[in-house]
Chains A and B, each alone.
Chain A
Amino acid sequence: MTALSRAARRHGPAVLFVAALLGAWQGLADLQVISPVFFPAPSRAFEELAFSASDGSLWTSAWATIKRMLGGWLLASAAGIVIGGAIGSSRTARDYLEPTLEFMRPLPASAIIPVAILFLGLSGSMALAVIAFGAIWPVLLGAAHGFATSRRGLRDVAAALEFGPVQWMWKFSLPAAMPDILSGARISLAIALILAVVTEMQASLPGLGYDIFMAQRSFRSAELYAGLIALGVIGFIVNHGLAMFERRVLSWREPQS
């Protein structure tokens, strides 16, 4: 009972706000200020969602987009941790890599798409490459910062226990950099979802982004909004999942801050 009322108190305002928003949307659509061809009522968008869920097309598209997003994000995270770790822990690596990276970082990932298409064609691997390129920066910078933070005390401990460089990385540096890496990874994940949708639209790859694009082109506005709702739900769930993972992995930080 108390848990229920606590949940109600905590999430009540947010639920109320969403309800009010949907109500306003429905009201505006019912007034038909804008033609329903461009602006469907939420009831129609949810009907469309339910329909595509029942015939399975929603799940196929959503899964394709999720796979693309996660694949690109994992690639970005792995590369970001390795490169960021190198920059953060080695002066030499930083001197070699940093200027180039600083040049590449401001490039919009969408501007990379034509280049990626030239090299990889209109393929899933092209999408992965673009997503990884665009999503790498937050993890990379987080890792670079996390690894660069000086930890002389821990270095002494590692030396006193005769740990070599590999064990220093694995047992000391990486876990110490974890908070910075994870906060970067969460931003990267949001970017990965954006780029998954963009590449689908640009390269006609199957997924929610392509569905939305096609719905817009053929004036099927209810379908378009259904796709947007699905994307929002995916982003929400994935972000929460990662936040929960972060809280678990970083539970040691809670008492201090």
Chain B
Amino acid sequence: MITKGWLLPIALTMVLITEVSSQDCGQLLARLRQANKANLELLNSKMNSTIPQQCIEGVFSFSLKNKLPTNRDVSEEENAKVAIQEVLQQTGHIFRQNCTEMLWDEDSLRAFHAGLDQQSENLKSCLSASPRSRRIQLTSLRVKRYFRSLNDFLKEKEYNRCAWEIIQIQVKQCFLWIEKLIQEIQSKGMDAQIPAHI
């Protein structure tokens, strides 16, 4: 038997890189909230406490074509999770752009990426496997549009320092938004224990 047992090892190889979904999804949001705080802290520590003089004008003239979805748009838990996952993944992407002008040291940048990747992967493994509703697709699309405008802005400004300052301010806003979303879901989760009220 030449074929004996050859499939199993391949299957095992596959399993090795499969994201093991043994994550405790019930505690996902609590972990995510803690990790998001760490992201914010890291971002804050790397950002100037004041906007550099030469960038002030740029900050005021900066406006985004697209906005993040409102909290009302992502009121369902699954929808919010998709939105958060999209923010994390897109933030990872934007921070992989030419960031020599961003003045982050390599270790901090690596730690930032490692955190974003892990949170995004953990979230993915806890998302429902069923096809996503139109509403959820729309949420995802809105986040993508928002980050597309950030990307376009960076490109347009040729990844200069001021552009990065503005991007960091925007990403910080995203993390604060994530914090609010998680807070809302968690408080709603507690409400759900009590009979529904309108």
Q: Do A and B bind each other?
A: no
